[in-house]
Amino acid sequence: YTAKYVMDMAQQILFTQDIAATLDEVLSGYVYDRLFVLTDENTRRRCLPLLSASKALASAGYINIQPDDTHKTLDSLASVWQELSDRRATRHSMMVNLGGGMVTDLGGFAAATFKRGIRYINIPTTLLGAVDAAVGGKTGINFNGLKNEIGAFAPAEAVLVAVSFFRTLSREHLLSGFAEMLKHGLISTTAIYDRLFTLDLSRPDSAEMLSCLEESIGVKQRVVEQDPHEAGIRKSLNFGHTVGHAFESFSHHRHHPVQHGYAVAWGLVCELILSHRRLGFPLDTVRRFAAFVRENYGVFPITCSDYDYLYERMTHDKKNDADTINFTLLSDVGRVVIDQTATRQEIEIVLDLYRDMFGI
């Protein structure tokens, strides 16, 4: 089998065509007393069979939780702790998180906090999970209606990326992950950014997709390596997320939840508009990006009467200091400017322009 190491860091990232053999190879490098696998109902049914050849998992204990972000809760977290406790997990146990961002976020936090921390491995099964949640060491759960409000920095021992999991994803789920790849392109180089628009999303297991994915994850890893605890440049990874998380929360509030990546795509448009107004980001690039998002992600409808709720959600963003809303903005592709603030009036103007641009 072939497994490609991207970086030899504290957190190994491996790209593989044989996920079972690679997992066994990685686990052979650790000493542990008990092994546990965390899945949700979907990944247990659809993804676990791809690991059936793993010898290490033959004696593992399996923990299952409910799928999707609405279950990334304290109750689900407590159920994982309970299972680990009931099955006599110790500080020397090991956990494998098999799933999308919800599973790797919650599973990572469960591992980070049980017995004050056990080691874990992430195997992302969605494009979004691979390019975003599984990498970088952020773990957590939603709380009080807020995304990832409770959590910890606790990197996985390894992240194993196998594109074979992506073959069964819907176009909607592929686009959700692709939004984070677009963000990585925007904060890196024009070459990486422009290449993304040539990608054929109908062939997620193609060599070109794998190459772009390696490139995108590399962007995140280089940033995380420089700033593991988000004291400075790691804030660049939050581009599009201040508004995007507000949109996502609002979609749940009105009982029509949207995919995380879709909310990020619309948030990127808004924060590019703000970047243009504040830092002179090229308007033609904003328009091209907005046209791509509208064509592929559709429109997130909002009215002026929704501004109060959206603004209030933005005030809860974890990047904020005191009473100001903190943004990461761009003066051009690859030119990141962190710690930018905007007044409520400026934010409402941006939302007006977003609505104009999308014909709302």
CB atoms within 10 A of CB 298: 14
Cα 117 from Cα 101, distance rounded (Å): 20
pLDDT average, residue stretch 113-132: 94
Number of H helices, E strands in the chain: 13, 11
Higher-scoring residue by pLDDT: 319, 153:
153
Lowest mean pLDDT among 53-67, 107-121, 156-170, 341-355: 156-170
- For the chain, where are the E strands, in sequence order? 3-5, 12-16, 35-40, 61-65, 94-99, 119-124, 138-143, 146-153, 158-161, 326-332, 335-341
Quick one: angle between helices 241-253 and 307-315, nearest 10?
Answer: 120
More confident residue, 40 or 1: 40
pLDDT band with cut points at 50, 70 and 90 for residue 7 = very low
How much is the mean pLDDT over the chain? Answer: 92
In 66-126 the beta strands, taken as DSSP E runs, fall at 94-99, 119-124
pLDDT tens digits along 223-264:
988 988 888 998 999 999 999 999 999 999 999 999 999 999
> Is pLDDT at 211 greater than 70 in this prediction?
yes
pLDDT for residue 321 is more than 80:
no
% of the chain at pLDDT higher than 90: 77
Q: Which of 6-10, 196-200, 304-308 has the lowest mean pLDDT?
A: 6-10
Location of structure tokens 């686009």? 175
On the question of pLDDT at 273 being above 60, the answer is yes
This model's pTM is above 0.75: yes
Q: What is the pLDDT of residue 176?
A: 95
> Quick one: which of 137, 61, 44 has its CA closest to 95?
61
Rg of the chain taking only CA atoms, in angstroms: 20
What's the pLDDT at 338? Answer: 94
Q: Is the pLDDT confidence value at 282 over 90?
A: yes
Read off the pLDDT band of 202 (50, 70, 90): confident
- pLDDT tops 80 at residue 320: no
* Long-range contacts formed by 164-168: CB under 8 A, 24+ apart: 164/17, 164/19, 164/50, 164/205, 165/19, 165/47, 165/50, 165/124, 165/125, 165/126, 166/126, 166/127, 166/130, 166/204, 166/205, 166/209, 167/204, 167/205, 168/46
**1 has a pLDDT exceeding 70:** no
Q: Give me the pLDDT at residue 209, please.
A: 84
Give the model's pLDDT for residue 148: 85
Beta bridge partners of 184: none
**Mean pLDDT value across residues 11-37:** 94
Is the pLDDT at 64 greater than 60? The verdict is: yes
Q: Model confidence at 208, in pLDDT bands (50, 70, 90)?
A: confident
d(CA 67, CA 64): 9
Q: Compute CA 72 distance to the chain's CA centroid, rounded to the nearest angstrom.
A: 14
Judged against a pLDDT cut of 70, whether residue 4 lies above it is answered with: no
pLDDT at 8: 39
Higher per-residue pLDDT: 233 or 81: 81
The mean per-residue pLDDT over the stretch 136-165 comes to 90
Query: Residue 322: its pLDDT value, please?
Result: 57
Pairing of strands 158-161, 35-40: unpaired
Torsion of CA 82, 88, 94, 99, to 10 degrees: -30
State the pLDDT at residue 197.
94
